[in-house]
Structure 1
Amino acid sequence: MNISKASEETQVSADTIRYYERIGLIPPVQRNENGVRNFTEEDLNWITFSRHMRSAGLSIESLIDYLTLFREGDQTIPARMELLKEQKKLLEDKIAAMQGVLERLDYKIENYDNHMVPKEKQLKNFD
């Protein structure tokens, strides 16, 4: 199938599929005699796997590292698990930071008259 059909099947844009191929998140896709990509079911599996890993919070760099380990074989399963645990920790830290931001914004909203208005009165005009 061509890239537009692969994009439709995987819900990944054609540009993203080309990018994934260029940086090695998916193996090189076979091309027909005209140079047009001809995606197989296995190619779609790779695209879907990469999309799911990205949506699970893995950065491009960590996903490349993960796939490098994967290609080295089953002996890297502990290292792959460790990489996923590290990514989970990074995500938990990011969530905690965002929770703090949300709490500060909630405080400003809940105390607008007592907190924000006096602070705003201390600001100079732009004019």
Structure 2
Amino acid sequence: MSIADLKQYITLREQGDQTIPQRLSLLKTTKTNFLKELAEIQQHLQILNDKINWYEAKDAGIISESEKFKTYLEHLGHENY
């Protein structure tokens, strides 16, 4: 929740129960935004893990030196990253 949203929430809370619908809407929007950010972070983590695994496999000689990271991702089904 942004500082501006937090301030708005506090102001609404101080106004009493008649602002419950607005607070609920603000909280639901905050949740939706958080879930989008979480999905993006999880995708970044997956890419990082794929890159680490690719380097480890290259270092161990499991993957040929000529194989590109893009090809490795395609083999994993992650070509959309």
CA contact (8 A) 1:66 1:83 kept: yes
Quote the Cα distance in structure 2 between the aligned partners of 1:64 and 1:76. 14
Q: Offset at 1:73?
A: 2.0
Q: What does residue 67 of structure 1 align with?
A: 10
Give the gaps of 5 or more residues in structure 1: 1-57, 117-127
Q: Which has the higher helix share?
A: 2
CA contact (8 A) 1:108 1:115 kept: no
Does the alignment pair 1:92 with 2:31? no
Does the alignment pair 1:79 with 2:22? yes
Quote the Cα distance in structure 2 between the aligned partners of 1:61 and 1:105. 33
Quote the Cα distance in structure 2 between the aligned partners of 1:97 and 1:104. 11
Task: Give the ranges of 4+ consecutive aligned residues of structure 1 lying more than 3 Å apart after TM superposition.
Answer: none
Aligned residues: 59
Quote the Cα distance in structure 2 between the aligned partners of 1:115 and 1:95. 28
Give the gaps of 5 or more residues in structure 2: 59-66, 70-81
